[in-house]
Structure 1
Amino acid sequence: MISAHAQNGLGKEALRYFQQLIRCGLHSDLVSFLNILTAACSHSGKIEDRLHLFESMTKLYNLNPRREHYACCGSCIV
C-alpha cells in the first residue's frame, strides 16, 4: 500500500499507511523506507519531517541507508 500510494503521488496517504504500520508494531525494512522517503519527498512536507524519517532508519530501526535512500531524497539530506 505504501509503495502504490508513493508511486502514484499520494504522499499523504503513503505516510499515513507508514505511521499505521509503526503503530501496529511492525518493523520497517529498507524497501518500506525507500518508498516512504520517496513519498515524503514528493509531498510538500517539512524538510525536518523528511530528515527525521531518514535519521530514524539508523537510530530507531538499525537499518543502514543505501545509495537509493540518499538518491530519492538527496535534496532533503544535505
Structure 2
Amino acid sequence: WVITSPNMDFVPEPHIFDEELRPRADSRFGLVDCFQWPQSYREDYPYAACIPRKENFPFPHPLYIAWYTPTPTD
C-alpha cells in the first residue's frame, strides 16, 4: 500500500479491517467514518469512493448534517 496526499501534513492510517459500524461518544463512526477518513477502493463498489466535500454543502443544504458534529446539548 502507498498512500500520499499533496495537501495534507500527515497521512492517515488506512483502516482495512472489519469493524462494527456504530456511533461513538463523539457521534461519529470512528476510523470507518467515510466522511472523516480515506476509504479503500474496490472494483465491486466504484462509487463508494465518491464522497462529496463538506464545502459543497453549506448550511442550510439538507446534506449539511452529514458533517455536523453533535454537541452534548443536542
- Regarding TM over 0.5, the answer is no
Q: Which has the higher contact order (CA 8 A, sep 6+)?
A: 1
**Which of 1 and 2 has greater Rg?**
2
TM-score (ref. length: structure 1): 0.29
